[in-house]
Structure 1
Amino acid sequence: MSSEIQAQGGSKKNVLPLIMVGVVGGVLIGGPTGAIIGAPMVARSVTGPAPAQGEAHAEPEEEGHGPSIYTMDDVVLNPAGTEGQRFLIARVALQGVGETFVEDMTARDAEVRDVVVRLLSAKTVVELADAGRREAVKKELQGALAARFPKAGIRAVLFPQFVIQ
C-alpha cells in the first residue's frame, strides 16, 4: 500500500514539470502567433474592411491642383528593443500635390513601405506611444520620404490608425 502512495506521489511530481513546459510553450508560441495573425484581423474588425493592398484614396482636388492622399493600410512592425514582444499596426497616409501623386506613390508602394517600416521600427515603444513626440516622428518620416522621393511633393504624413500592442 505504501508503494502505491509513493508511486502516486512520484507521478504527480513528474507531471507538474510537463504541465509547466506546456503552459510556457503555449505562451511563447501563442503570443507571437496571435500578434502576427490576430492583430491585423482585429485591426480590420475595428476599422472596417480595408481596401486592396497599396490601394490609394484620393480626396477631391480643388481646381485640379489640390492635395491628394495616398494611404498604406496594415503597416505592421516590431518597435526597437521589443525583441518581437510588441508590435505596431498603423495606417499611414501621405498628402501630396499634383495630378499624378497618388498614381506615382501606388507604383512605388514597396519602396514607400520600406522607408516607413525602416524608420518606425527604429523607434522605441516609448517614442512611438508618446503623443507629444508623434509630430516629430511624422516630420522625420516626411523628411525621409522627401529624400527618397524628391519629386513627389509630399506635404504631410498622417496616421489615421496607430495602435501599439
Structure 2
Amino acid sequence: MANETPQAPEGAPVAPTKAKLPMLIGMVAVGLALGGGTGAAVLGPMVAKKMGKVTPIVAAADSAHGGDAAAAEGEHAAPAEGGKEGGAAEAAIHVLDNMVLNPAGSGGSRYLLLTVAIEVGSPAAIESFKARDAELRDIVLTTLGTKPVEQLTDMATREQFKVEIMKAVDERFGKKSVKRIYFPQFVVQ
C-alpha cells in the first residue's frame, strides 16, 4: 500500500503534466499574438476611421480602390486649396501601388517592387492623376526602368530618382502639379 500513487477522484480536473505545460503556454502565446494582430489589422483602421483620424494616404488609397466615394470626399478628403482643417491644410496624395519592373541590364533575373506616393500640388491635379493613372505608372516605370540594379540598390540615388520622376510628371501634366514624391515601398530582388 505504501507504493500506491494517489489518484484524483472522478470528475476532478487533472493538472497538465510537466511535458505538456510548455506546449500549452506556447499555444496560448501564439493564439494571443494572432488574435491581437488580427484585431489591430482589422479593427484598428475601422476605429481610427470612426474617430476621424485617417491619414491623407489612406484616404487617397481608399478612394482610388473604389472605397465609399461619399466618405472619401466628405470627412477624410483633403480640403480644397486654401482650406484649413485642424489649423493646417492637408495635402492630397495619389498612390501608385505595387509596381514591378525589371532593371536595365538584369536580363529579367532581377526586379524592383515599388509603391510611389505623389503629393499633389492642386485639386485639379489630383483629378487629372486619377483619370490618367496608367500614364503616371508608365512615367515611373519608364524613368526607373533605365536604371541598373547597382543604382537602384544605392540609397543615395533615391532622391535623384524622385527628382527625375517629378520632372517627367511635370512635363506631361503641367508645372507644379507635384509637390513631393515618396517611396513607401522600394524592394530590389
Does TM, normalized by the shorter one, top 0.5? yes
Partner residue, 2:129: 105
Looking at structure 2, the residues matched to 127 and 59 of structure 1 have their Cα atoms a distance apart, in angstroms, of 36
Q: Which amino acid aligns with 2:125?
A: F
The answer to which of 60-69 and 143-152 deviates more is: 60-69
Partner residue, 2:110: 86
Cα distance, 1:66 vs structure 2: 4.2
Looking at structure 2, the residues matched to 123 and 155 of structure 1 have their Cα atoms a distance apart, in angstroms, of 23
What count of residue pairs does the alignment treat as equivalent?
Answer: 118
Equivalent runs, 1:150-161 vs 2, <5 Å: 150=174, 153-161=177-185
SS of residue in 1 equivalent to 2:123: coil
| 1:82-126 Cα shifts (integer Å, max 9, x gaps) | 000000000001111222332220100011011111111101111
The structure carrying a bigger strand percent of its residues is: 1
Cα distance, 1:77 vs structure 2: 0.4
After superposition, the Cα gap between the structure-2 partners of 1:55 and 1:150, relative to the gap in structure 1 and judged at 3 Å, is farther
Query: Is the Cα–Cα contact under 8 Å of residues 66 and 97 in structure 1 kept in the other structure?
Result: no
SS of residue in 1 equivalent to 2:162: helix
User: Are residue 76 (structure 1) and residue 105 (structure 2) matched?
Assistant: no
Looking at structure 2, the residues matched to 126 and 104 of structure 1 have their Cα atoms a distance apart, in angstroms, of 34
SS of residue in 2 equivalent to 1:67: coil
User: Are residue 145 (structure 1) and residue 169 (structure 2) matched?
Assistant: yes
Partner residue, 2:138: 114
Equivalent runs, 1:35-54 vs 2, <5 Å: none
Looking at structure 1, the residues matched to 65 and 121 of structure 2 have their Cα atoms a distance apart, in angstroms, of 18
Over aligned residue pairs, what C-alpha RMSD do you find? 3.0
TM-score between both structures, scaled by the size of structure 2: 0.54
The structure carrying a bigger helix percent of its residues is: 1
After superposition, the Cα gap between the structure-2 partners of 1:146 and 1:161, relative to the gap in structure 1 and judged at 3 Å, is same
After superposition, the Cα gap between the structure-2 partners of 1:121 and 1:100, relative to the gap in structure 1 and judged at 3 Å, is same
After superposition, the Cα gap between the structure-2 partners of 1:77 and 1:155, relative to the gap in structure 1 and judged at 3 Å, is same
* Residue segments in structure 1 that go unaligned for 5+ positions in a row: 1-47
Cα distance, 1:155 vs structure 2: 1.2
Query: Is the Cα–Cα contact under 8 Å of residues 90 and 163 in structure 1 kept in the other structure?
Result: yes
Q: Which amino acid aligns with 1:125?
A: V
Query: Is the Cα–Cα contact under 8 Å of residues 66 and 98 in structure 1 kept in the other structure?
Result: no
- Greater gyration radius: 2
User: Relative CO higher for 1 or 2, CA cutoff 8 Å, sep ≥ 6?
Assistant: 1
After superposition, the Cα gap between the structure-2 partners of 1:68 and 1:87, relative to the gap in structure 1 and judged at 3 Å, is same
After superposition, the Cα gap between the structure-2 partners of 1:59 and 1:162, relative to the gap in structure 1 and judged at 3 Å, is farther
Q: Which amino acid aligns with 1:108?
A: R
